[in-house]
Amino acid sequence: MKATKSDLQKIDRLQKRSDFLLLNTHATKWVSKSMIVLALDNQLGHPRYGITVTKKLEKTSVGRNRMKRRLRNIAAEHLSAHAHLSKDYVLIARSGVATKPYEDLSREFLWCLEKLGHVGN
């Protein structure tokens, strides 16, 4: 994993359920094999991100937490460098997040950002 602690601190997290619901209903979406990326404008001037892993996907909390850690590192590594400043992002895990190589997940996330038109400042 390539993200450092300082990379994780550069980006705020979405914490309120209402923020997640707003993105779920109004955001633009791009689907890849191992994740869904939702993006929506915010008025804050800095990017925020959230991660969703459902029990339907992975029954054990150990497995869900592993998926969250992997997606959190990908978000920290790429959103600080590539994402628009005033956007909210939600990464929704799909099957394969836990077993796919980190480099492949990273490429998929950048591909999703590119397809959404959100790469660059």
pTM of the predicted structure, to 2 decimals: 0.84
Selected from 3.30.230.10, 3.30.2020.10, 3.40.50.300, 3.30.70.1140, the CATH number assigned to the domain covering 5-115 reads 3.30.230.10
The answer to whether 75 and 83 have CB atoms below 8 angstroms apart is: no
pLDDT score, position 23: 83
pLDDT score, position 121: 47
Query: What are the strands of the beta sheet with 48-52, ordered from one edge?
Result: 12-13, 48-52, 87-93, 35-41, 28-31
* pLDDT per position as a tens digit, 16-35: 898 888 888 888 899 999 99
Domain regions of the chain by residue span: 5-115
pLDDT score, position 81: 77
Which residues in the chain come in under a pLDDT of 70?
1-10, 118-121
The answer to whether 56 and 92 have CB atoms below 8 angstroms apart is: no
User: Could you tell me the end-to-end alpha-carbon distance of the chain, in angstroms, rounded to an integer?
Assistant: 24
CA distances from 105 to 21, 25, 36, 99 (A): 25, 25, 12, 10
pLDDT score, position 84: 75
